[in-house]
Chains A and B, each alone.
Chain A
Amino acid sequence: MSGPSTYEPKTGFTRWLDKRLPIARLGWDSFVDFPTPRNLNYWWTFGGILAVCLMIQILTGIVLAMHYVPHIDYSCASVERIDRDVNFGWLLRNSHANGASMFFLAVYLHMLRGLYYGSYKAPRELLWILGVVIYLLMMAAAFLGYVLPWGQMSFWGAMVITNLFGALPVVGTPVTEWLWGGFSVGNATLNRFFSLHYLIPFLIAGVVGLHIWALHVPGNNNPTGLTVKTGADTLPFHPYYTVKDGFAIVVFLIIFAFFVFYWPDALGHADNYVEADALVTPAHIVPEWYLLPFYAILRAVPDKLGGVILMFGAIGVLFILPWLDTSRVRSMRYRPMGRWFFLFFVIACLGLGWVGAELPDNKVPVLGVLGLDFLWMGRILTLYYFGYFLVVLPLLGLVEKPAERPASIERSVLGKDTFGAAAPVAALAE
C-alpha cells in the first residue's frame, strides 16, 4: 500500500544524511506522508495514546529507580521516602502507579477496536499477534511492578501468581523455587522482580517497533473494513492524524491527570500500604482491576492445573484468533449477527472483571434470588468468553449473511446513498 517514497531532502546536510542513513526518510514516510484511510474514527487514536503511555511509564520508571531500594527491609520505606522527601516524588510515583492503569485502559479499548473492526484478519495476522505479545509483556511488567512496594498485596499477589507454576506436573516445585530463589517469596524474589521489571518495558518498546512496522506494510484497517484502493481513500498522516491523535491524547491525559492529582489511590488497595507480612494474609486479596477477568477465569475451575491452563488459554486463544474467524467481512459494521455476539462478549469481559473482585461464594445482587453466586456467574461468563472465539467466530462466518457494503472507503464517507454496483466486487476483493 505504501507507494514510492515522497521524501525530498532539501538542504545539503539532509541530502548527505539521506545517502548514508535515511532515517529522516523513514520518519517522513512513516509519520508524515503515510497514506492513512480518511475515515478513521476516535477508536483509532488509542495507538498514539498507548505510545504516550509507554513513554510516561519508562520515563517515570527510570527516575523512580533512582530512589527505590529493592530490599525487603527498605523497599517500603524507600517508597514512602519517594512520596515524602524526593522532589516531586509523589507526582512521579502517582503517575507511574496510575499510569499502569491508564495503560491497560487504553490497551483494552485498542484491542476491542481491533476485535470489532476485524483488524486481526488477513493481511494483518502478524500485526495482531505482535499486539498480543505486547499485551502479555505488559501484564508481566504490571505484575512485577506491583510487587516492588512490598506491601501486603504485593507480597500475597506474588505468592499466589508464582504458586500457579506449582500446578505444573513434576516440575512444579522446582520451577516455583527457581522463580523465588528460595523456599518462598523473599528478598531474592524481590530483587529479581525489580531487575525484570526494569527490563520488560524495553522489550515492549522493541515489539512496539515491530508492531508499527507490521502496521505500515498493509496500512491501517478502517471502520468499513474495506481495503484501500485508490489515493482518494486516504489522507497523509500529517497533519490530519497527528492533530486528531494529539487531541485524543490530551483528552486522555485529562482523565489521567484527574486520577494522579485528585484520586491517586482510587485504583489501588488500602492493604498495599501495610508492609508485607509473611505470617498474615489479608482477608480479601484481589489483583489490580486490569487482571480481574483472568482471576475470575482461574477460579472458575475447581482444579488447580485446570484453572491455570484455562487462564493462560484465555490469552492463548487470542494468538490463533486470526484463523478462527471465518467471515469474509472484516468490520462488524456489516455483520448484523456478529455485532450482537460482540456486544455480549464485551459484557462478558466486564462481568468477569466484576466476578474477579467478589468472593466466589457471595450471591450475585438481584440474580442471587435464583441462587446464582459469583462462582457460577464466573463459570457461565468463562464459557461465553471461550465460546465466542472457539464456536461463534468459526461458525458465524459460515452462516451469517453480511450487510451490503459501500464500494469504497471514499464512497462510504461521501454518503450512504452512493452504494455502487461495484459492492459485490469489492467484497470479493477483500
Chain B
Amino acid sequence: MTDVNSNHETGGEDSSRRDFLYIATVGAVGVGGVFAFWPFIDQMNPAADTLALSTTEINVGDLEEGAEITVKFRERPHFVRRRTAEEVAASAEVAVNSLPDGDARNANLAAGSPATDENRSALSAVIDDGVEVDETLRASLLVSGANCTHLGCVPTEGAGDYGAWFCPCHGSHYDTSGRIRRGPAPENLPIPPMTFISATTLRLG
C-alpha cells in the first residue's frame, strides 16, 4: 500500500467537513435503501382486486328456525343461524359481565359495545331505505365469522357445553350468540358488516 492514508489526520476543521460528507453519503444510501425496500414488502399485502372482493348476499327468508348455513364472505366462512326463541331467550339471560369477552365484536356497532344478545344478533344490521324487516326474524338471526378466534379452526355445530359451537382443535365452547364461554379462544366470533336490502335478503360487506 502507499502512503495515502497518512494524510487523514491533517486539519481539524477540514476533517470534520470530510466526516460530515461521509456520514451524509452513507446516510443518504441508507435512507434510499429503506425506501427502495418498501415496495418489496408492500407487494405481499392484499392487492387491489382482493381488497375489492365484494359483498355476499344471503337469502334468510327460507331459513327455518334452528337451521344453520355456512356462507363464504371475503374468502372466510361465516355462520348464518336462525335461532329458536328458546335459544335467544337463554342467550339474553346471560350477564355480560360474566362473559370472558364482554365486547360485542360487531362491525355494525361502535367498538366496545357490550356483548348483549341484542348487540350480537341481526338487530344491529343496517336496513336500507324503504325496506321493512320482521323484528323477530332480525332478533333470531345470528351472522358471525366461523373461524375460532383462538387459531382459526371452524367450530362444530351443535356441540359443546352451550349447545351451539365447539371447536375441535383446542376445545373452545361458544354459545348460541357466538360468544366465547370456555376454552382458550380470547374473543367472541366477529360479526361482519351487514345490511338488509330486502325483507329477506341480507348483504354482508
The CA-CA distance from A382 to B2 in the complex, in Å, is 47
Contact A63 B1, beta carbon cutoff 8 Å = no
Cβ-neighbour of A85 out of B1, B39, B48 (below 8 A):
B48
A225 CB-CB contact with B under 8 Å: no
Which residues of chain B come closer than 8 Å to A59, judged between CB atoms? 40
Interface residues on B, range: 10 to 19
The CA-CA distance from A85 to B1 in the complex, in Å, is 55
A229 CB-CB contact with B under 8 Å: no
Contact A66 B43, beta carbon cutoff 8 Å = yes
Contact B45 A87, beta carbon cutoff 8 Å = yes
Q: Whole-angstrom distance from the CB of B6 to the nearest CB of chain A?
A: 13
Q: Which residue on A lies nearest to B37, using beta carbons? A: A59
Which residues of chain B come closer than 8 Å to A88, judged between CB atoms? 38-39, 42-43
- Looking at chain B's contact residues, is the secondary structure mostly helix, strand, loop, or mixed? helix
Which residues of chain A come closer than 8 Å to B50, judged between CB atoms? 85
Q: Whole-angstrom distance from the CB of A166 to the nearest CB of chain B?
A: 40
Cβ-neighbour of B4 out of A63, A81, A85, A235 (below 8 A):
A235
Contact B47 A86, beta carbon cutoff 8 Å = yes
Q: Which residue on B lies nearest to A88, using beta carbons? A: B39
Cβ-neighbour of B49 out of A35, A38, A85 (below 8 A):
A85
Q: Whole-angstrom distance from the CB of B102 to the nearest CB of chain A?
A: 37
Contact A63 B40, beta carbon cutoff 8 Å = yes
Contact B39 A91, beta carbon cutoff 8 Å = yes
The CA-CA distance from A87 to B38 in the complex, in Å, is 10
Which residues of chain A come closer than 8 Å to B38, judged between CB atoms? 88
Chain A contributes a number of interface residues (CB within 8 A of B) equal to: 22
B44 CB-CB contact with A under 8 Å: yes
A67 CB-CB contact with B under 8 Å: yes
A89 CB-CB contact with B under 8 Å: yes
A234 CB-CB contact with B under 8 Å: yes
Cβ-neighbour of A87 out of B2, B4, B29, B43 (below 8 A):
B43
Q: Which residue on B lies nearest to A62, using beta carbons? A: B40
Query: Would A235 and B49 be within 8 Å (CB), given that A67-B43, A88-B39 are in contact?
Result: no
Cβ-neighbour of B2 out of A63, A85, A235 (below 8 A):
A235
Which residues of chain B come closer than 8 Å to A86, judged between CB atoms? 43, 47-48
Contact A87 B47, beta carbon cutoff 8 Å = yes
A236 CB-CB contact with B under 8 Å: yes
The CA-CA distance from A38 to B43 in the complex, in Å, is 43
Contact A85 B47, beta carbon cutoff 8 Å = yes
A401 CB-CB contact with B under 8 Å: no
Contact A231 B47, beta carbon cutoff 8 Å = no
Q: Whole-angstrom distance from the CB of A236 to the nearest CB of chain B?
A: 6
Contact A92 B2, beta carbon cutoff 8 Å = no
Contact A66 B42, beta carbon cutoff 8 Å = no
Q: Whole-angstrom distance from the CB of A227 to the nearest CB of chain B?
A: 17
Q: Whole-angstrom distance from the CB of B21 to the nearest CB of chain A?
A: 11
User: Which residues in window 80-119 of A have CB below 8 A to B?
Assistant: 81, 84-89, 91-92
Which residues of chain B come closer than 8 Å to A254, judged between CB atoms? none
Q: Which residue on A lies nearest to B1, using beta carbons? A: A231
Which residues of chain B come closer than 8 Å to A60, judged between CB atoms? 40
User: Which residues in window 234-256 of A have CB below 8 A to B?
Assistant: 234-236, 246
Q: Whole-angstrom distance from the CB of A222 to the nearest CB of chain B?
A: 15
Contact A87 B1, beta carbon cutoff 8 Å = no
Q: Which residue on B lies nearest to A64, using beta carbons? A: B43
Q: Whole-angstrom distance from the CB of B27 to the nearest CB of chain A?
A: 14
The CA-CA distance from A236 to B4 in the complex, in Å, is 10
Contact B2 A66, beta carbon cutoff 8 Å = no
A232 CB-CB contact with B under 8 Å: yes
Q: Whole-angstrom distance from the CB of B163 to the nearest CB of chain A?
A: 44
Q: Whole-angstrom distance from the CB of B33 to the nearest CB of chain A?
A: 12
Q: Which residue on B lies nearest to A410, using beta carbons? A: B2
The CA-CA distance from A230 to B43 in the complex, in Å, is 52
Contact B2 A84, beta carbon cutoff 8 Å = no
What does the 1/0 interface line of B115-131 toward A look like (CB < 8 Å)?
00000000000000000
Which residues of chain A come closer than 8 Å to B40, judged between CB atoms? 59-60, 63, 92
Which residues of chain B come closer than 8 Å to A38, judged between CB atoms? 2
Contact A92 B49, beta carbon cutoff 8 Å = no
The CA-CA distance from A351 to B40 in the complex, in Å, is 39
What does the 1/0 interface line of A48-74 toward B look like (CB < 8 Å)?
000000000001100100110000000
Which residues of chain A come closer than 8 Å to B44, judged between CB atoms? 63, 66
Q: Which residue on A lies nearest to B2, using beta carbons? A: A232
Using A63-B43, A85-B50 as known contacts, list a sample of 18 further A-B pairs with CB atoms less than 8 Å apart, ordered by residue number in A.
A38-B2, A59-B40, A67-B47, A84-B48, A85-B47, A85-B49, A86-B43, A86-B47, A87-B39, A87-B43, A87-B45, A87-B47, A87-B48, A89-B47, A91-B39, A92-B43, A232-B2, A234-B2
Closest 6 CB pairs of A and B: A88-B39, A85-B48, A85-B47, A85-B49, A87-B42, A86-B47
26 A-B residue pairings within 8 Å (CB atoms):
A35-B1, A59-B40, A60-B40, A66-B43, A66-B44, A67-B43, A67-B47, A81-B49, A85-B48, A85-B49, A85-B50, A86-B43, A86-B47, A86-B48, A87-B39, A87-B48, A88-B38, A88-B43, A92-B39, A92-B40, A92-B43, A231-B2, A234-B1, A235-B1, A235-B4, A246-B29
B-to-A contact residues, CB < 8 Å: 1-2, 4, 29, 38-40, 42-45, 47-50
